[in-house]
Amino acid sequence: MALQANDGNAAGTAPVVRVRGVVNRFGEQVVHDGVDLDVRRGEILGVVGGSGSGKSVLMRSVLGLRRADAGRIEVLGMDATSTDPVVRRHIERSSGVLFQDGALFSSLTVGENVQVPLKEYYPELPESLRYELALLKIKLAGLPADAIDKLPSQLSGGMRKRAALARALALDPPLLFLDEPTAGLDPIGAAAFDALILTLRRALGLTVFLITHDLDTLYAICDRVAVLADRKVLATAPVAELERLDHPWVQEYFNGPRARAARATAGAND
Ligand X SMILES: Nc1ncnc2c1ncn2[C@@H]1O[C@H](COP(=O)(O)OP(=O)(O)OP(=O)(O)O)[C@@H](O)[C@H]1O
CB of 129 to ligand X, least distance (A): 38
Interface with ligand X, residue 31, by CB under 6 A: yes
Rounded to whole angstroms, the Cα distance separating 66 from 151 reads 30
Rounded to whole angstroms, the Cα distance separating 251 from 248 reads 5
Quickly count: other Cβ atoms within 10 Å of residue 223's Cβ. 14
Q: Are 90 and 174 in contact (CB under 8 A)?
A: no
Q: Name the residue nearer to ligand X (CB basis): 54 or 111.
A: 54
Rg (CA), the chain: 19
Strand, helix or coil for residue 233: strand
Dump strand ranges (E) for the chain.
17-26, 29-39, 44-49, 70-75, 78-79, 95-98, 175-179, 207-211, 224-229, 232-237
Rounded to whole angstroms, the Cα distance separating 93 from 45 reads 20
Interface with ligand X, residue 28, by CB under 6 A: no
Cα–Cα distances in angstroms (integers) from residue 8 to residues 14, 33, 39, in the given order: 7, 21, 8
Interface with ligand X, residue 81, by CB under 6 A: no
Phi-psi region at 8: left, alpha or beta (left = phi > 0; alpha = psi -120 to 50): left
CB of 179 to ligand X, least distance (A): 8
CB of 1 to ligand X, least distance (A): 26
Q: Name the residue nearer to ligand X (CB basis): 68 or 170.
A: 68
Residues 35-64, mask of contacts with ligand X (x by CB under 6 A): --------------x-xxxxxxx-------
Interface with ligand X, residue 26, by CB under 6 A: yes
Q: Name the residue nearer to ligand X (CB basis): 52 or 157.
A: 52
Q: Name the residue nearer to ligand X (CB basis): 166 or 178.
A: 178
* Residue count, binding to ligand X (CB under 6 A): 10
CB of 52 to ligand X, least distance (A): 4
Q: Name the residue nearer to ligand X (CB basis): 88 or 231.
A: 231
CB of 22 to ligand X, least distance (A): 12
Burial class from Cβ neighbours inside 10 Å (0-12, 13-18, 19+) for residue 139 reads: middle
Q: Name the residue nearer to ligand X (CB basis): 74 or 180.
A: 180
CB of 53 to ligand X, least distance (A): 4
Q: Name the residue nearer to ligand X (CB basis): 52 or 256.
A: 52
Q: Name the residue nearer to ligand X (CB basis): 26 or 126.
A: 26
CB of 201 to ligand X, least distance (A): 23
Rounded to whole angstroms, the Cα distance separating 181 from 48 reads 13
Q: How many residues does the chain have?
A: 270
CB of 168 to ligand X, least distance (A): 18
Interface with ligand X, residue 106, by CB under 6 A: no
Q: Residues 170 to 229: which contact ligand X by CB under 6 A? A: none
Q: Of 62, 63, 79, which Cα lies nearest the Cα of 22? A: 62
Which residues of the shown chain bind ligand X in the complex (CB under 6 A)?
Answer: 26, 31, 49, 51-57
